Amino acid sequence: MKFQINQDHFSNGLQQVLNVVATRSTMPILSNVLIEAAEGHISLTTTNLDLGIRCRIKADVSDPGTITLPVRKLATIVRELPQSDVFVESGDNNQAKITSGGSLFKIMGIGADEFPPLPSFENRKVFELSQEEIVGMLKSVSYAQSTDENRYILNGVYFNFADEKLTLVATDGRRLGLTALETEISEENVGSLILPAKTIAELERLMGKGEKVKIAFNDRQAAFEIAIDEGGDSGLTDHLYLVSKVVEGNYPNYRQVIPKETEHRVKIERELMLECVHRAALVTSDKSNSVKLKMSKNLLEISGASSEYGESHESMAIAYDGPE
């Protein structure tokens, strides 16, 4: 294998796939990135067996081939290289020679035949949606995911494709976030899945740089083809591909905890409220980490307190005419 690649492009590609790799793994191959060199590009793939990511980067490939290299060490080396072209070459001994300017590194790898392939799957449901809309929906609910490993069914976001809309839900038993997007859903594509919190974090990180994302899923796994900004200077080509196991089990009936009727409504300037809550929370502590909201006619009072630091008080105008 032999190729020449822009240093910034190579570094950026490695950063795209780095987060999936565990800091420690009982399987050395899972600490490596699979590098596949083909005409005009290289592919970078990482996996932890639950989640996998692949991206393609423009490269001048003179000898196609494959190798796996320790991804964290490789990413560090490439990041520190001079901002010029990087030359990568490997032979039958699973050693890669990396040169750039006056720098030379020889890195030991593992044969590509030991790398677990990303799964392909049949009988899947497929949707194509706007990245911007999906990212906005995820940010609206992901904060409410549970971190309690004993409640694994809540350690993620619930996706429900039904009734001509996509509904996203997350809850930790105390908070609940719900958002919905109207979209065309054929009868054969009606279905639901729960994506783990790690997958949600990667989707929020990877999406938003292109227009569309294609979602495919079945009972055991989900795949995302994330379009990229072709006009950018990232060096990425085609799309980012992410495949993830889903959380197995039935999501709890979240609708039963949502009040069917509400008597009082309040209209609030969102950004101003966020600022007030942030300031009021400055005096809270780990033991007393809540703020109090008090509503009266057209006024919202926000206060925080702790025995360690003292008190804080904020007030803002709102549209409200109801009981205190």
Q: Say if residue 115 is exposed, middle or buried (CB neighbours under 10 Å; 0-12, 13-18, 19+).
A: buried
Greatest alpha-carbon span in the chain: 77
pLDDT at residue 168 is higher than 90? yes
Please write the tens of the pLDDT for every residue from 145-157. Answer: 999 989 999 999 9
**Paired residues of 212 in beta bridges:** 130
pLDDT score of 210 = 78
Distance, in Å, from the CA atom of 118 to the CA atom of 98, rounded to the nearest integer, reads 26
Please write the tens of the pLDDT for every residue from 237-275. Answer: 888 999 999 999 999 999 998 888 877 889 999 999 999
pLDDT score of 188 = 87
Cα-flanking dihedrals φ and ψ of residue 287, to 5°? -80, -30
Higher pLDDT, residue 23 or 40: 40
Please write the tens of the pLDDT for every residue from 92-133. Answer: 899 999 999 999 999 999 999 999 999 876 768 889 999 999
pLDDT score of 6 = 95
Distance, in Å, from the CA atom of 231 to the CA atom of 276, rounded to the nearest integer, reads 40
pLDDT score of 230 = 65
Distance, in Å, from the CA atom of 211 to the CA atom of 116, rounded to the nearest integer, reads 30
Q: Which helix (H) or strand (E) segment is 197 a member of?
A: helix 197-206
**Of 19-28, 29-38, 126-135, where does the model show the most confidence?**
29-38
pLDDT score of 261 = 80
Please write the tens of the pLDDT for every residue from 308-319. Answer: 999 999 999 999
pLDDT score of 318 = 95
Tell me the one-letter amino acid at 23. T
CATH annotation of 125-227+242-257 = 3.10.150.10
Are 20 and 53 in contact by the 8 Å Cβ rule? The answer is: yes
Question: How many angstroms separate the Cα of 89 from the Cα of each of 12, 86, 95, 97, 141?
Answer: 20, 10, 8, 5, 45
pLDDT at residue 322 is higher than 80? no
Give ∠ CA 8-9-11 in degrees, rounded to 5: 65
Mean of the pLDDT values across residues 287-313?
93
- Tokens representing 192? 């639901």
Domains of the chain by residue range: 2-114, 125-227+242-257, 270-317
| Architecture of domain 2-114 in this structure | Roll (3.10)
Mean of the pLDDT values across residues 9-38?
93
Distance, in Å, from the CA atom of 179 to the CA atom of 166, rounded to the nearest integer, reads 8
pLDDT score of 159 = 97
Are 134 and 87 in contact by the 8 Å Cβ rule? The answer is: no
Distance, in Å, from the CA atom of 121 to the CA atom of 222, rounded to the nearest integer, reads 9
Same fold, 2-114 and 125-227+242-257: yes
pLDDT at residue 321 is higher than 80? no
Please write the tens of the pLDDT for every residue from 171-206. Answer: 999 999 999 999 999 888 899 999 999 999 999 999
pLDDT score of 94 = 93
pLDDT at residue 232 is higher than 70? no
Distance, in Å, from the CA atom of 141 to the CA atom of 299, rounded to the nearest integer, reads 27
Q: How confident is the model at residue 24 (pLDDT cuts 50, 70, 90)?
A: confident
